[in-house]
Chains A and B, each alone.
Chain A
Amino acid sequence: MHEWALAEAVVVTAIKTAKEHSFREVTDIEIQLGQLQQIDKDVFAFAVEKALKSQRLLFKETKVHFHDEEAVFQCRNCGREWTFEDNKKKLSTTESEAIHFVPEVAHAYMGCPDCQSTDFEILKGRGVSVSSITGERDD
């Protein structure tokens, strides 16, 4: 599952942030899960927990919070906004899976519901991002 690779990226980011801010311990990690990437939340959460164990002291009491973010698109051609729910049902399993791996390939399989243009912007809900990492310092 490539969720493991993304989970590792989150934990490496937390370690880097902790170093930059001289955190003795990371207390909270807030993760946004953009709907377009269709991450398997259970697998991802398990992978994050596993990866946190690589630094037991730094992540001793770390709480990881996951937040689902709806995917919203805007057509650059006609300006129409729409959500992933509007497109999702029309995608085949193979197409959905391709978007799961590289969300940008949505441009190959989805279009504006009004003018069908594939020239659209992903306004939000693309994929995995970290919204905050909180920790405690010694001082």
Chain B
Amino acid sequence: MDPRVNIIDKRLEKVKKVVAVSGGKGGIGKSTFAAILALTLSKRGHNVGLLDLDFWGPSAHVILGAEKVLPEEKEGIIPPDIHNLKFMTIMYYTADKALTIRKAAFENAVLELLSVVQWGALDYLIMDMPPGIGDPTLDVIRLMKKVRFCVIAAQSQVVMETVIKTLNTLIELKISITGVVQNMKMNERSVREQIERLHVPFLGEIEFDAGLEEAMGNPDDLLQTGFAKAIDRSIAGKLENF
């Protein structure tokens, strides 16, 4: 009997909304979106947590510049405060080492974190998911009843092929989808029509932001980017209302 499964609901009982930021492909800006969305919601006055579940390639700590912090141990694990976010990542425990784990170990590590991390009261827990709709996504769906998915798309046939499959799978599994965000927009072409054809909300578009890289590691600078302004202007409000 695994006792951890039974405590997860209690650990999340004061968390109002759990949003998994997902997408079919790597490199389309899921981590950046998750981190900046969390910062934006916090700036808008909400209590926000950010959990990096991309154990194979954690990067939210780089985006936030949270490389020299550690959680506190107090009747569980208390995530450190990074720019008003409660931020949790496996990187606290792996440092600069790669984590070569297979799916069963991934599930165990997720279970461990979900059962011992004390988030306290949050308006939002934003989760940065690994790419694809494999075991990690299925684990999150199984373990976190409140989860809703926010899917990142881009105007590329290769990306959209997987985004559509991801959305169809979530629809088949009857999992709540807050909507789709089109990232790295470089021309007039929108994926809105493709998304709305599936009766999934289209949350908005984020233009390709050449200045984003310069702001990495500095939350104040990140919040000044066009990327963050697009989230604040057209996406955060919709997430507040779902």
Task: Flag if B94 contacts A129 (CB, 8 Å).
Answer: no
B6 near A105: Cβ-Cβ < 8 Å: no
B214 at the interface (CB under 8 A from A): no
- The answer to whether A52 has its CB under 8 Å from any CB of chain B is no
The CA-CA distance from A77 to B16 in the complex, in Å, is 44
Q: Are A4 and B100 in contact (CB under 8 A)?
A: no
Q: Does B233 belong to the interface (CB within 8 Å)?
A: no
In angstroms, Cα B110 to Cα A104, docked, is: 10
Contact of A9 among B102, B106, B115 (CB under 8 A): B115
A1-B75, A12-B7 known; 5 other A-B pairs, CB under 8 Å?
Answer: A98-B95, A104-B108, A105-B109, A127-B112, A130-B1
A59-67, A80-88, A118-126 - the one binding chain B:
A118-126
Does B199 have its Cβ within 8 Å of any Cβ on chain A? Answer: no
How near does chain A come to B7, taking the closest CB pair, in angstroms?
4
B2, B93, B97, B101: most-surrounded residue (chain A CB, <10 A): B93
Min CB gap A57→B, angstroms = 20
A45 at the interface (CB under 8 A from B): no
* Known pairs A102-B93, A102-B112, A130-B1; A5 contacts B118 (CB<8 A): yes
Q: Are A102 and B98 in contact (CB under 8 A)?
A: no
Interface residues on chain B, size class:
20 to 34
Cβ-based interface call for B45 (8 A): no
Closest-CB distance, A12 to chain B (whole angstroms) = 5
B76 near A2 (CB under 8 angstroms)?
A: yes
Q: In whole angstroms, how far apart are the Cα atoms of A8 and B76 in the complex?
A: 10
The answer to whether A1 and B6 have CB atoms under 8 Å apart is no
Tell me the smallest distance from the CB of A89 to a CB of chain B, in Å: 19
In the complex, residue of chain A having the shortest beta-carbon distance to the beta carbon of B104: A121
Question: Chain B CB within 10 Å — which of A2, A5, A104, A130 has the most?
Answer: A104
Q: Does A93 contact B (CB under 8 A)?
A: no
Does A103 reach chain B (CB closer than 8 Å)? yes
Q: Kindly state the separation between the CA atoms of A108 and B95 in the bound complex, as whole angstroms.
A: 9
- Would you call B6 and A9 a contact (CB within 8 A)? yes
B126 within 8 A of A: no
A126/B1 contact (C-beta < 8 A), A5-B7, A118-B100 known: no
> Are the CB atoms of B108 and A126 closer together than 8 Å?
yes
Residues of B with C-beta under 8 A to A13: 1, 3, 6-7
B75 and A5 within 8 A (CB): yes
CA distance A110 to B93 in the complex (A): 13
Q: Top 4 nearest A-B pairs by Cβ distance?
A: A5-B76, A108-B97, A9-B7, A98-B93
Complex Cα–Cα for A54 and B75 (A): 16
**A107 B93 Cβ-Cβ under 8 A:** no
Let me know if A128 is at the binding interface, CB within 8 A.
yes
> A6 to B99, Cβ gap below 8 A?
no
Does B116 contact A5, Cβ atoms closer than 8 Å? Answer: yes
Whether a CB of chain A sits under 8 angstroms from the CB of B113 is yes
- Which B residue's beta carbon lies closest to that of A3? B75
